[in-house]
Amino acid sequence: MYQYLTLSPGEIHNLWTVLQFTVTTYLLYLRISGQFHLIVGLLCLFGFNLPETHHLYYLSSSFNDFWRRINIYWKDFIMKMIYYPVFIRLRNTAGTSTAIVFATVIAFLGTWLLHSYQWFWLRDSFPISATDGIFWGFLGLLVVINSLIEASSQRKPHKILTLKASLIHSAKTVIFFLFMSFLWSLWSSSTPANWLGIVSQWRHSSIGDFAGLAILLAALTVIGTVAQVAFRHKGQSPANAAWPMPPTAVRITVMASLLIVITLPSVTGSLGHGPENLITTLRQDRLNMKDQELADRGYYEGILEQRNFTSALWSNRANRPDDWVGLKRSDVIKYRQDLLQYEMKDSYAGNFKGTLFSTNRFGMRDKQYQEAKPAGIYRIALVGASYEMGPGVRNDQIYEAILENQLNAANIAGRNRRVEILNFSVGGYSIVQKSLVAENKIVSFQPDLVIVTIYSGDYERLEIHLSEIVQGNVPIPYPALRAIIERCHVHPGMNSKQIRQSLQPCLPDAAEWAFVKLKSDCMKHGFPLMVVFMPSTKDMRTKGAGESLSSLWDRALRAGLQPERVDNIFANYKMEEVEIAPWDSHPGVLGHRLLADGLCRLLLNKKTEMFENDHESASRQGDPP
Amino acid sequence: MTGDSQIPEIISKFVLEKFLPGEGPEALNDKTPLISGGIMNLIDTIKLVAFLEGTFQIQFKSFEIGVDYLNDIASIAEMVRRKINEKG
């Protein structure tokens, strides 16, 4: 559920994705209830027979039913500590109904405050948020209404379960589940406005979508009805059940055996690393892509929305060293007040993500080079983002440094001529920022080739970059880019999520603008340009990575470029082998070696094209091509 | 004044009538779990307490309302007896 079905806000665009967002948010609580069951089961092994908690709460059919089924220990605690004392105190003076209302309201208020108090112990903050207030207030109000109805009504005689009664119960359960999903997703959102922004995406749906939803709900109701009728005698005798279920022990043994089998080397060998990675994600508390995005946003934006911490992200953060901060929160960079936003400090040396991080006098994470190109040097300017900047690995372990050695060992530029790769990359740079680097930073170094790398996350980075530019009201000195952004009707008064969502339709055009700019700037200075689509460690796990790459590729073609591609060299490796740490998906030492190998192969294949207009190379006796 | 032996009977009758309507006396014995077994919910428990207080002229304290003291007829009867004795 957590790894594969939860959606990030950017992926929600119609009724079905709104539904997926709300339902999966609600179902994430399975993890908590599962932990309760494990704890109760373990205590039972030691002779402590606690009552069952979290009893089929997704099958609740009313608010009172839900309150009784979900966290029974919490409910009992609140009843004893708050509800009954308030009720006893009030009932003689105010009457039973008023006492029920006040006791319920105060019990829910207490629940809200005690939940915030738990956060205080965990996180050293006491959140009083609007979403909490709405969630607990609404739930409390509905429980009050339900309680008053129950208090004033007589219980009807127990009847044999009829088809009609089963149908009504089933419909109530389905509708209540849907309602709770929406309420739960509101509770899990950082603000009501953000939640409204997400769920309002249902507007982009057709009549067919609504008809499909109605059919789905009807089908679930029918399934529920059939299940009730089929199992109605189960309580009397298991043998009478229409569909006898195997015992729990058998079901657990079969599931556990299946999990063990798919991790066996012989099975993994034939199925690839997909199943093994699946098990790893289940075993290791790894972040899903949505939370990886949040973590990466810490990298890119320097912000983590505290409210949206899931347990995996929490656990992930707990394992992460304290000094493992994102680039924008580090002292590696300095901010600017223009479209480039930020750049690395020159001559910096310090610790960043667990390793020594140093920059040269030009602010590149690279060796010291002369600005003027020396004779006998073939210069490549590498313009990329975090993969090229190499967080968490030493300077000499970055794939750019390895590639430089590999190209020189292969004498790609000739026996008497060395290759220098100048690394202009900065973590988090969008394609627009890369085009600005190509325009403004590389010219004085007179490169013989400019390589610009593109990844599946480039739209994400572009979205973040442009949203920050809009929010910060930073002037955009390029009329064409300004016009593209203006088409999205964004303004600094909107919140970042609204801006990001509104910008999405314009991202392909903005990327194309950057590709065109890269091409024209490089042509103006006579620098050959190579745009290389690189694989990322997340591609295999990220929904939509292929579509993003394909769209970016099309835009590069439309801009008149002939992009190159390094195939996915990570596909045959486990995540933990190629990533820097469980809490950071950037490539580690092996990941950089693989990237260097992949790009080296590509450049050796392109050797003829690289050197066809290279006069210095052609003039050297015995030199290639 | 109600006799000690009548207390479980009065409670059983109330529980059967209010919370198990349509069921015969065989559906309920002294040890049938009322709260943990799902026969009585929160509001039912309040109704039971109101009935016990009115019928036996006793007062419940807040901590006495719940599964620890009111989960079956035997426990409820014991609690009522104790409260009547305390009252003198």
Q: Are A462 and A431 in contact (CB under 8 A)?
A: yes
Q: How far is A542 from chain B (nearest CA, A)?
A: 45
Structure tokens at A175: 């509708």
Confidence of residue A242 (pLDDT cuts 50, 70, 90): very low
Residue A380 DSSP one-character state: E
* pLDDT over 70 at A299, yes or no: no
Residue A95's closest chain B neighbor by CA? B50
- A158·B42 Cβ contact <8 A: no
Q: How far is A144 from chain B (nearest CA, A)?
A: 11
Q: How far is A97 from chain B (nearest CA, A)?
A: 11
User: What is the predicted pLDDT for the residue at A371?
Assistant: 92
* Partner residue opposite B62 with nearest CB, options A51, A84, A157: A84
Options 3.40.190.10, 3.40.50.1000, 3.60.15.10, 1.10.1200.10; CATH for B4-87 is: 1.10.1200.10
Please state the length of chain B. 88
State how far the alpha carbon of A305 is from the alpha carbons of A191, A314, A371, A494, in Å. Answer: 11, 12, 42, 17
User: What is the predicted pLDDT for the residue at A399?
Assistant: 95
> Which residue from A395, A381, A524 is spatially nearest to A442, judged by alpha carbons?
A381
Phi-psi region of A300 (alpha: psi -120 to 50; beta: other; left: phi over 0): alpha
* Partner residue opposite B21 with nearest CB, options A83, A87, A155: A155
* pLDDT over 70 at B12, yes or no: yes
Residue A7 makes CB contacts below 8 A (sequence gap 6+) with A17, A20, A21, A24, A290
- B36·A147 Cβ contact <8 A: no
* pLDDT over 90 at A597, yes or no: yes
Q: Which residues of B fall within a CB distance of 8 Å from A76? A: 66-67
- Express as a percent the part of chain A with pLDDT over 90: 41
| Alpha-carbon span A281 to A156, nearest angstrom | 49
Q: What is the pLDDT of residues A586-595, one digit of tens each?
A: 999 999 999 9
| Residue A245 backbone dihedrals phi, psi, to 5 degrees | -90, 145
What is the mean pLDDT of the segment spanning A418-435?
95
Q: How far is A41 from chain B (nearest CA, A)?
A: 18
Confidence of residue A306 (pLDDT cuts 50, 70, 90): very low
Confidence of residue A325 (pLDDT cuts 50, 70, 90): confident
User: What is the predicted pLDDT for the residue at A238?
Assistant: 40
- A64·B42 Cβ contact <8 A: yes
| Residue to substitute from B39, B46, B52, B58, interface A, most A β-carbons within 10 A | B46
| A222, burial (CB in 10 Å: exposed 0-12, middle 13-18, buried 19+) | middle
Residue A150's closest chain B neighbor by CA? B43
* Partner residue opposite B41 with nearest CB, options A64, A76, A157: A64
Count of helices and strands (H, E) across chain B: 4, 0
> What residue has token string 């024209």?
A520
- A87·B46 Cβ contact <8 A: yes
Are β-strands A579-581 and A584-587 bridged in parallel, bridged antiparallel, or unpaired?
A: antiparallel
Domain assignments of chain A as residue spans, ordered by start: 9-160+179-203, 248-283, 340-621
Q: What is the mean pLDDT of chain B?
A: 86
Q: What is the pLDDT of residues B24-66, one digit of tens each?
A: 888 888 888 888 777 888 888 888 998 999 899 998 888 888 8
Domain assignments of chain B as residue spans, ordered by start: 4-87
Mean pLDDT check: name the lowest of A185-194, A362-371, B6-15: A185-194
User: What is the predicted pLDDT for the residue at A129?
Assistant: 81
Residue A442 DSSP one-character state: S
> Which residue from A362, A474, A467, A384 is spatially nearest to A428, judged by alpha carbons?
A384
- Chain B residues bordering chain A (beta-carbon distance below 8 Å): 18-23, 36, 41-43, 46-47, 50, 60-63, 65-67
User: What is the predicted pLDDT for the residue at A276?
Assistant: 60
H or E stretch at A350: strand A349-352
- A88·B22 Cβ contact <8 A: no
* Partner residue opposite A96 with nearest CB, options B19, B23, B50: B50
Question: In this predicted model, which residue has the larger pLDDT, A562 or A123?
Answer: A562
| Alpha-carbon span A595 to A605, nearest angstrom | 16
What is the mean pLDDT of the segment spanning A64-88?
86
Q: What is the pLDDT of residues A179-234, one digit of tens each?
A: 999 998 888 887 888 888 888 888 888 899 999 999 999 999 999 998 887 776 55
- B66·A150 Cβ contact <8 A: no
Confidence of residue A275 (pLDDT cuts 50, 70, 90): low
Q: How far is B43 from chain A (nearest CA, A)?
A: 6
| A167, burial (CB in 10 Å: exposed 0-12, middle 13-18, buried 19+) | middle
Q: Are A399 and A590 in contact (CB under 8 A)?
A: no
Task: Write down the H helix ranges in A394-531.
Answer: 399-409, 431-440, 458-471, 479-486, 496-503, 507-525
Confidence of residue A611 (pLDDT cuts 50, 70, 90): confident
Q: Which residues of B fall within a CB distance of 8 Å from A151? A: 43, 46-47
Residue B37's closest chain A neighbor by CA? A51
User: What is the predicted pLDDT for the residue at A624?
Assistant: 38
Q: Which residues of B fall within a CB distance of 8 Å from A88? A: 60-62, 65
Structure tokens at A602: 């590509």
Q: What is the pLDDT of residues A514-546, one digit of tens each?
A: 999 999 999 999 999 999 999 998 877 776 788
Confidence of residue A7 (pLDDT cuts 50, 70, 90): confident
Q: Which residues of A fall within a CB distance of 8 Å from B18? A: 154-155
Mean pLDDT check: name the lowest of A274-283, A370-379, A554-563: A274-283
H or E stretch at B42: helix B42-56
Q: What is the pLDDT of residues A385-414, one digit of tens each?
A: 999 999 999 999 999 999 999 999 998 888
Q: Which residues of A fall within a CB distance of 8 Å from B61? A: 88
Distance of CA A301 to the CA centre of its chain: 14
Q: What is the mean pLDDT of chain A?
A: 84
* pLDDT over 50 at A303, yes or no: no
User: What is the predicted pLDDT for the residue at A253?
Assistant: 86
Other Cβ atoms within 10 Å of A312 Cβ, number? 20
| Alpha-carbon span A2 to A176, nearest angstrom | 22
Confidence of residue A550 (pLDDT cuts 50, 70, 90): very high
- Chain A residues bordering chain B (beta-carbon distance below 8 Å): 51, 64, 68, 76, 79-80, 83-85, 87-88, 91, 96, 100, 147, 150-151, 154-159
* pLDDT over 60 at A507, yes or no: yes
CATH class of A340-621: alpha beta
Q: Which residues of A fall within a CB distance of 8 Å from B60? A: 88
What is the predicted ipTM?
Answer: 0.86
User: What is the predicted pLDDT for the residue at A119?
Assistant: 77
* Partner residue opposite A157 with nearest CB, options B22, B47, B62: B22
User: What is the predicted pLDDT for the residue at A385?
Assistant: 95
